[in-house]
Amino acid sequence: MDLAPLLPFIAAVVDAWSRRGVGAIASALAVIALTGLGDRLLDLLNFVFLLTAVYSLWYMKNAERAGWYWAWLDAFYGSMLLFLTSNNWLWALAGWGGLDASSWALILTYKDGDELGAVGDGRAGRFARWLWMPSDSALRAIATVELGTAALAVGMAIAAAQYGPEISSWRALQPAAAFLIMLAAFVKSAQLPFTDWLMTAMSAPTPVSALLHSATMVAAGPILLVRLHQALEPYWAYAFIVGLITAAYGGLIALWQREPKILLAASTASYLGLATAFSVSSPAAATSLIVAHGFAKASLFMAVGEAVHERGTRFPEGYSLPAKAAMALSLATLLGFTPAGAEAKGLMPEWELAFSALTAGYIGRLVLGARTEGGLTPLSAIALIAAALALSGPPSAPDLLWSAALAGLALYKPPRLEAMERRLYLPELFAAAGRALAVVAVAVGRLDLRLDRALLRAPSAWLALSRGIAGLDKAVDDALHVGLVEAVKKLSSRLASIDVQVYAYAAGASVLAVFVALMLL
Amino acid sequence: MIEAVVLAASVFLAVLGLRLGLAPSLASIALTLLLLGRRLELGALPYVGPAMLDFGGYAGVFVAATALLGLAVLVYSKEYAEHRGLGNWFYGVMALYVIALELIPAFDNLIYVFVAMESAVVTSFLLIYYFGYGDRARIGVMYFLWSQIGSIAFLIGVALSGRYAPPYYLPFLPAALAIFGLLVKMGTAGVHFWLPYAHAEAPTPLSALLSPIHVGLMSYWLLALLPRTPLPANAIAIYGAITAVYGSLLVFRESDIKRALADSTIANMGLLAAAAALGDKEAVVLLFVGHALAKAAMFMVSGIGITTQNERRLGRLRLDPWSFVGSALGLVALAGVFGITLLGKAYLALSSPPPLAPLLYVALFATAVYNFWLFDKLYKAGKASATPPLAMALPMLLASIAPYALLFAPWI
């Protein structure tokens, strides 16, 4: 294993004790120095993490669980580095699992009851109440993503048994391995029907969302598919269909979300859907999209996070001008007007414009549908820097056609649609599945209890058997040692009571009888 | 020769611990660490044949895990024993128990293995019978009887085979008996009913060894003996995976943290049985050590709750900041989401035949998820105001961090 992924884990120990992000920033700088620049996915991860860490210095300044936050944030970074840089399947899997654990722990940063840790409006649904506290969100997230991690462990093991431990040497995968690996990628990147954990993961502090939605966790799904695109080539259609359906779902429901962080989460599902759709059939397009989306989404979360942090509410009604500038620049990236955005856009078919129009609609809702209030703060400055990172790519001229997507801005005030606001009731499906699992667990628990009770009655049966045997034993004992003795005694006294002459006559008669018999013979 | 002296001295110190308490008991277990990597020829006995104690190689990993965890648990148990007013001889019996556990994988002669198993059963029975909770006398006897069912089946199987020393070979009937005995002692599905009672009602430091180490050590012999039998290994692997799912589902019924952890042991024994049945040495050792450390940490968390709050009910037991961190780390490690248990699960998947993949997938998922449900219960109970004593918090934290630290150990 390389040294670089180890550094954030060392930083995690340091930050857990110091409760400051010094280790995080130092480890990011050290990793950049060690790995250098050039690998686009690594650059995305390193710079987004560095910016997130700096952003968190302000955002998490007075947080109660600061040590917890910093330690797990470092572990999150280390896990993604491990996943990205490992060619050995075991280390890649370890990184993948580390992402699960870290995201789960980071969702638990706020306490239940903290307004900023809640998600939802509290309305009652058929199977669920639409209000998720950090502990609910964390459980939902981990219970879903573990479906993917277990699949990845088994799927990669089948592939490793066939081709060896180096991922780069894997070729055409067996259907079982391909199915499991793709399932893992879909779950990780919140593809349908495994989408809703990503929405409630918004219980985590906003900088976590900035990292989770851009360069780590969800990005790992399509990155895995890109890495294995040769081995998965025959199955590209599955990724394409699932990705496109999720892209449409995420893009559409984003238009109707009231909470800005949920809106952005739905947008992430949409863009990760597009990345998934192209990951196997056009890995270069998917990689470019992951990079462009990563910088844009990190910036968007940071911009929204400024208002959330300053006003202490999940429903900010206004954003500062620099934050809106960062949002606008991020939108420009997603529409293809910055070098990173243009590169991604240029590699994708023209019908992708429809998704760009949706993007303009929901980002427009943040930029145009909210007041402008407040000036430059360190948080909005960092959001601007994150958005500006999308300018760093090789210059490429945007296509004029792409500007048609700006027509989507007209969607920034959509009419009320209950089903869309309710995310097409996917959380209800999730809650129903959870209840079904609970029913299975209760049934197994009851079965076990019955068997246990039956076994606990075994001592009574044993006692009855033992009493039966003891009774039999006593009967034989009595017969031998009481009954027989008494009988012998009785016989003896009976015999003793007979006069001696009778015995003499009997003896004489017997002798006579023997004599007569002998004579006759 | 020096090995015999060291072993005798550690037994002597443990016996001294019966009278003098913690210090000689700790010294006794610490002394056994000197045996690591060493061998001791025991000569031949009539009928039983030659025997050897091997504290190195593959067995050495199991011995080292047992000794180190034994030390940590003994340090931890001081506050616990004082809180519950346990006598000095508690420490001595604990030390003798740890030594007996160390001898289980170290012996190579199956008759001696049986003797070591019985020594561990007797010492742990005494600890449950005298220092346990609730209906401890009845549960102690229940534990003893089930253990005897396992031990005697193992002994009869081994005796019928007539091959006590390596290379072992057990024909069908002896193998079936011996393996059945080991599975009873592991507490796999169907023969698990004793386990939640015994592990939950044992004094908590004992639970921290009983649950992860004692039952887990049987996987060492399962791994060693199964390839030397005509038994269908794949069927046992399937049974192991079913046990993993079954045990995981049982956790959700519990309202007591110690019983929940005991059910979790059933699930993990399922994974270990599957790994042993598939002959995967790496998976067995990674799953054994990973489970041992994380489970011990979690039992220590429950002991902290008992000591500081007199509470062990889920939903009522509150976590102090140290236990909060320890539980999070311990349960994530136990889940195999990160840490060496994850690698153990990966190795298990690697050695599984493809038809086992669907069941194994369910088993890996099930054994992960219940841990987070458990943490959710602890989390929702709120924050404890009492701070745990350092002697309890430190071993708990070390045990919960170790599954991650070992991930970066060079030999892994």
**One-character DSSP codes across A219-278:** GHHHHHHHHTTTTTGGGHHHHHHHHHHHHHHHHHHHTT-SSHHHHHHHHHHHHHHHHHHH
C-alpha B212/C-alpha B290 separation (Å) is 9
Cβ pair B198, B266 in contact under 8 A: no
Query: Which of B86, B69, B406, B325 has its CA nearest to residue B214?
Result: B69
Query: Which of B305, B294, B265 has its CA nearest to residue B386?
Result: B305
C-alpha B63/C-alpha B66 separation (Å) is 5
- Partner A contacted by B411 (CB < 8 A): no
| The pLDDT of residue A475 is above 60 | yes
User: Over the stretch A149-192, which tens digit does the pLDDT of each residue have?
Assistant: 999 999 999 999 999 999 999 999 999 999 999 999 999 999 99
- Partner B contacted by A124 (CB < 8 A): no
CB neighbours of residue A376 within 10 Å: 14
| The pLDDT of residue A390 is above 90 | yes
A-chain residue closest to B260, CA distance: A445
Q: How far is A384 from chain B (nearest CA, A)?
A: 35
Question: Tokens 């009774």 correspond to what residue?
Answer: A471
Amino acid at A320: S
Question: Reduced to 3 states, what is the DSSP secondary structure of residue A127?
Answer: coil
Of residues A101 and A501, more confidently modeled: A101
Contacts for A392 with CB less than 8 Å, ≥ 6 apart: A339, A340
Percent of chain B with pLDDT over 70: 100
Phi, psi of A46 (to 5 degrees): -60, -45
| The pLDDT of residue A220 is above 60 | yes
Q: Is the dihedral of CA B108, B111, B114, B118 positive or negative?
A: negative
Residue in B250, B354, B408 closest to A176 by CB: B354
**Confidence band for A429, pLDDT divided at 50, 70 and 90:** very high
| The pLDDT of residue A1 is above 60 | no
C-alpha B318/C-alpha A255 separation (Å) is 42
Contacts for B206 with CB less than 8 Å, ≥ 6 apart: B94, B97, B124, B127, B128, B131
| The pLDDT of residue B321 is above 70 | yes
Beta strand A371-372 pairing with B39-45: unpaired
Q: Tokens for A170?
A: 């894997």
**Is A449 in Cβ contact with B338 (below 8 Å)?**
no
Amino acid at A58: W
Question: Tokens 């059933």 correspond to what residue?
Answer: B266
Helix (H) or strand (E) holding A495: helix A484-497
| Total residues belonging to chain B | 412
- Partner A contacted by B141 (CB < 8 A): no
C-alpha B274/C-alpha B232 separation (Å) is 12
Of residues A392 and A351, more confidently modeled: A351
| Total residues belonging to chain A | 521
Q: Spell out where A83-172 has E strands.
A: none
Range B81-91 average pLDDT: 90
- Partner B contacted by A454 (CB < 8 A): no
Integer angstrom CA distances of residue A495 from A3, A485, A501, A509, A510: 107, 15, 13, 18, 18
- Partner A contacted by B346 (CB < 8 A): yes
**Confidence band for A427, pLDDT divided at 50, 70 and 90:** very high
Q: Tokens for A227?
A: 């890495």
Residue B42 buriedness (CB in 10 A; 0-12 / 13-18 / 19+): middle
Cβ pair A229, A279 in contact under 8 A: yes
pLDDT, residue A128, reads: 87
Question: Reduced to 3 states, what is the DSSP secondary structure of residue B18?
Answer: helix
Query: Which of B217, B16, B269, B236 has its CA nearest to residue B104?
Result: B217
Contacts for A55 with CB less than 8 Å, ≥ 6 apart: A207, A210, A302, A305, A378, A379, A382, A383
Between positions 51 and 110 of A, the ones with CB within 8 A of B are 68, 79, 89-90, 93-94, 97-98, 100-101, 104-105, 108
pLDDT, residue A500, reads: 85
Phi-psi label, residue A501: left if phi above 0, alpha if psi -120 to 50, beta otherwise: alpha
Helix (H) or strand (E) holding B41: strand B39-45
According to DSSP H, which parts of A347-421 are helical?
Answer: 353-367, 378-388, 418-421
**What is the rounded end-to-end Cα distance, in angstroms, of chain A?**
114
C-alpha A68/C-alpha A15 separation (Å) is 8
Amino acid at A428: E
Residues of chain A neighbouring B354 (CB-CB closer than 8 A):
158, 174, 176
CB neighbours of residue B169 within 10 Å: 14
Q: How far is B249 from chain A (nearest CA, A)?
A: 5
| The pLDDT of residue A393 is above 80 | no
Helix (H) or strand (E) holding A188: helix A175-188
How is residue A168 annotated by DSSP?
G
Would you call the peptide bond into A165 cis, given omega within 30 degrees of 0 as the criterion? no
Contacts for A98 with CB less than 8 Å, ≥ 6 apart: A75, A76, A78, A79, A82, A83, B337, B338
Residues of chain A neighbouring B253 (CB-CB closer than 8 A):
441-442, 444-445, 448-449
How is residue B47 annotated by DSSP?
T
pLDDT, residue A122, reads: 87
| The pLDDT of residue B350 is above 90 | yes
Residue in B357, B372, B376 closest to A158 by CB: B357
Range A446-473 average pLDDT: 91
Residue B278 buriedness (CB in 10 A; 0-12 / 13-18 / 19+): buried
Amino acid at A241: I
DSSP A22-40: HHHHHHHHHHHHHH-S--H
User: Over the stretch A184-208, which tens digit does the pLDDT of each residue have?
Assistant: 999 999 999 999 999 999 999 999 9
User: Over the stretch A298-349, which tens digit does the pLDDT of each residue have?
Assistant: 999 999 999 999 999 999 989 999 999 999 999 999 999 999 999 999 999 9
**Is A9 in Cβ contact with B408 (below 8 Å)?**
yes
3-state helix vs strand vs coil in chain B, percent to 5: 75, 5, 20
Three-class HEC string of A449-487: HHHHHHHHCHHHHHHHHHHHHHHHHHHHHHHHHHHHHHH
Would you call the peptide bond into A459 cis, given omega within 30 degrees of 0 as the criterion? no
C-alpha B323/C-alpha B29 separation (Å) is 26
| The pLDDT of residue B411 is above 80 | no
**Is A97 in Cβ contact with B337 (below 8 Å)?**
yes
pLDDT, residue B211, reads: 86
Query: Which of B209, B23, B10 has its CA nearest to residue B124?
Result: B209
Strand partners, B41: B52
Q: How far is B365 from chain A (nearest CA, A)?
A: 5
pLDDT, residue A232, reads: 96
Q: Tokens for A338?
A: 């910055």
Cα dihedral: B100, B104, B108, B114 (round 10): 90
CA atoms in the 13 A half-sphere facing the CB of A221? 36
Helix (H) or strand (E) holding A140: helix A134-163
Task: Report ipTM (2 d.p.).
Answer: 0.93
User: Over the stretch A481-508, which tens digit does the pLDDT of each residue have?
Assistant: 999 999 999 999 998 888 888 888 999 9
C-alpha A28/C-alpha A22 separation (Å) is 10
| The pLDDT of residue A139 is above 60 | yes
